[in-house]
Structure 1
Amino acid sequence: MKYFKLPDLGEGLPEAEIVEWKINEGDSVNTDQILATVETAKAIIEIPSPQNGVIAHLFGQAGDTIHTGEPLLEFAGEEDDSGTVVGELKQESNSASTDHFFIGAAPSTQAYRQKMTPAVRSLAHRLDVATHNVQGSGQDGQLSADDIERLAKTDRTHGKAEPLRGVRKQMARNMALAHASVVPVTLYEDVDIHTWAVAEDITIRLIHAVAAGCKAEPALNVWFDGQQLARRMLNQINLGVAVDTDQGLFVPVLRDIGNRSLKDIRAGLNRLREDVVQRTIPPAELQGSSITLSNFGTIAGRYASPIVVPPTVAILGAGVIREQVIPVDSKVVIHRVMPLSLTFDHRAATGGEAARFLRAVIDDLAEESIS
């Protein structure tokens, strides 16, 4: 091959950001030699060479984003195969008035350029203004000198904007998609947990309760296709567990929680969290959840409206456990209470189904112990 394109890194991973090149132009490489490390929304991945050869050209630098199927590098001394090139590189217009869009064998960060005159582009360069994905005030979004000066003033006043990368960028996209497509409703309730042991494993109790909720009301353990208005009932409960990291939000998946021992679930959860922190978690371990748990109460917050991410239809949030004055048998007592927030997609589940799920969760959490 002449061009080695970014391979498919897994379902739901359409792009990757170059972290580091392990080779340089002119280097000879062997099959399976590591060419580069890239960061996807889910992991840091090493890209091996598909063949022996000499590197003629690298498409992109560290920090550039490459989409799946776009050229990553070019091998020297081989016949060109037009079938391996993504699109056709279109040269910039020689017109003195505007620059035009171009596509082809180039990093995605360079695959789009705003319309602007050479003078305006020169001004943007002199003022060190980033114009990527900026809508201009002129016709068809063309950037003017006033636009550039306004952007430069904003940079001076507030500092330069930091583009989202990797996990945070994918999270932003997923949240925007969910907000645009899901019809969310949230139910709030408290559960009295005064009978729990002091050293109770809170996360395991919540996981056990989610399994109990899904068994009592299977309508929340489904995948929903909003385009086809179809739902797929699932026999296995695959729980996505939200994990907060410095890089952003990860949601690794605990498989088949309804048929595993608590000890096995704890060991699996520990392994997933360690893999997330180390950024060694395989992309497959971040896919296929059927319902989600967010134990945000380990940090702060009483109630929330957690985001349902398609194709799942429900997410349970657990807030900060607190002591609260409550009436019990006509007496006023102080018990520990856990607040719960259940958000569900009302397109796929009814209020009754969600309430029955939450009732089962509460009943399970109210038990003194589980086995």
Structure 2
Amino acid sequence: MKHFKLPDLGEGLQEAEIAHWHVSQGQRVEADQPLVSVETAKALVEIPAPYAGVVEKLFGAEGDVLHVGEPLVGFEGESSDAGTVVGRLEGGGEAARHDVFFIGAAPSTREHLAPRATPAVRQLARQLGVELGALSGSGAAGLITRADVEAAAESARERFGGERLRGVRRSMALNMARAHAEVVPVTLHGDADLQRWGAARDPLIRLAQAIAHACRVEPVLNSWFDGNALAVRRHAQLDLGIAVDTPDGLFVPVLRNVGQRSAEDLREGVARLRADVQARSIPPQEMLGATLTLSNFGTLFGRYASPVVLPPQVAILGAGGIRDEPVAWQGRVEIHPMLPLSLTFDHRVVTGGEAARFLQALVEALEAPSG
């Protein structure tokens, strides 16, 4: 059997949930024919057949979560590549036999042995909070399978009375756990006085332009951080993630090259991204590569926040709701529209001074008269 494995779906996407099979066992398919639709943290992705052949086996049912590199479809025929060895080697004859030695007293139980499971199953167990040592494997020679781990997690959920997270919300939970474990967040708050804008109150495009201006003042906030290598990769252009809230969860499509585009071009780009997100038709590549994120949560409700930085990004800006407030202006009290801002940055990479200068430059750009 030839194994076609779940391919790499893009930067940071290590797993996908099977949404719908387009083929069935025994069916002949042609190259590039749609095999399956999978749901990732970013979007629905259609995976085509890598070559023509007859489907011998489908690995996983709708609703199952697979990791990149795990078998997805088995095709009839001899495999020319055995793949990465993650379990025992099997074969015939004396060459296939191996001895296991224990130094010291002979054990009377199997407690000295580490649980037998593939790397993918171990990763799944870590993500679901399942202790492999407490499981009895149902696979060959006691190998713990994905089904064993998922059954243990489901049993724990039933005892807890909870509901299984899927799709975008499951990915959100995993991303938040990663951010909590890796990032050292600090948040600065400030306000922008919009009294020079006139009557218009559509801050998103002005915010994007102001962020691009501030990134030129403090470019470290337009970068990625490799925590393992303790290295920063800076970028020449700003690719800005725009947080879009939907009934299915939060999506962050990416607005490219913000600093080099006109206001009208940016407005059209944002409208297109939002429409694609709402229709769940946005290509996966349009959800990747943001170096800084803007959360315009004030369109829903709220003034200040502590937005969460998702690694490898180093900062996120939250914009609250615009309010008319009394301010001291040229020796008298006036009512001005004020935009509250919250900047969260990763203090492993960004100093307090850099963050403060960034926010100051951003506010100054916002407070300039509108064009």
TM-score of the superposed pair, with normalisation by structure 1: 0.81
Identity of aligned residues (%): 52
Counterpart for residue 122 of structure 1: none
Shift of 1:237: 1.4
Distance 2:230 2:134 in 1: 40
Distance 1:352 1:56 in 2: 60
Aligned to 1:23: 23
Q: Contact conserved, 2:193 with 2:339, CA < 8 A, in 1?
A: yes
Residues 232-243 of structure 1: matches in 2 within 5 Å? 232-243=233-244
Structure 2 unaligned segments of length 5 or more: list them.
Answer: 91-109, 138-149
Provide the residue aligned with 1:132 in structure 2.
152
Aligned to 1:11, the other structure's residue is in SS state coil
Residue 186 of structure 1 and its aligned partner are, at CA, apart by 0.9
Number of residue pairs the alignment of both structures matches = 336
Structure 1 residue 272, shift from structure 2 partner:
1.4
Q: CA offset at residue 349 of structure 1? A: 1.7
Q: Structure 1: which 5+ runs fail to align?
A: 92-96, 119-129, 135-147, 156-160
Give the match's secondary structure for 1:133.
helix
Residue equivalent to 2:286: 285
Q: Is the 8 A contact 1:17 1:40 kept in 2?
A: yes
In the other structure, the counterpart of 1:194 is: 195
Q: Residues of 2 paired with 1:151 and 1:45: CA distance? A: 28
1:45 corresponds to 2:39: no
Secondary structure in structure 1 of the residue aligned to 2:187: strand
Letter of the 1:331 partner, please give it: R
Q: Give the alignment of 1:210-225 within 5 angstroms.
A: 210-225=211-226
Q: Does 1:55 align with 2:55?
A: yes
RMSD: 3.2
Whole-angstrom distance in 2 between the partners of 1:193 and 1:151: 49
Partner Cα separation in structure 1 for residue 168 and residue 120 of structure 2: 25
What displacement does 1:33 show?
1.8
1:216 and 1:90 map into 2 onto residues whose CA distance is 57
Aligned-partner Cα distance in 2 for 1:369–1:197: 8
Distance 1:66 1:355 in 2: 43
Query: 2:26 & 2:88 partners in 1: Cα distance?
Result: 23
Q: Which moved more, 1:220-229 or 1:332-341?
A: 220-229
After TM superposition, the structure 1 = structure 2 runs for residues 1-371 of structure 1, keeping only pairs within 5 Å, are: 2-76=2-76, 78-81=77-80, 83-84=82-83, 87-88=86-87, 102-103=117-118, 115=134, 131-133=151-153, 154-155=160-161, 161-370=162-371
Q: Pick closer, same or farther for the CA change 1:153–1:344 going to 2, 3 Å.
A: closer
Offset at residue 90 of structure 1 (A): 10
- Inter-CA distance 131–297: structure 2 relative to 1 (3 Å threshold): same
Q: Scaled by the length of structure 2, what TM-score is found?
A: 0.81
**What's the offset of the Cα at 1:366?**
1.1
Letter in 1 for 2:31: T
SS in 1 for 2:12: coil
Looking at structure 2, the residues matched to 115 and 206 of structure 1 have their Cα atoms a distance apart, in angstroms, of 52
Give the CA deviation at 1:257: 1.0
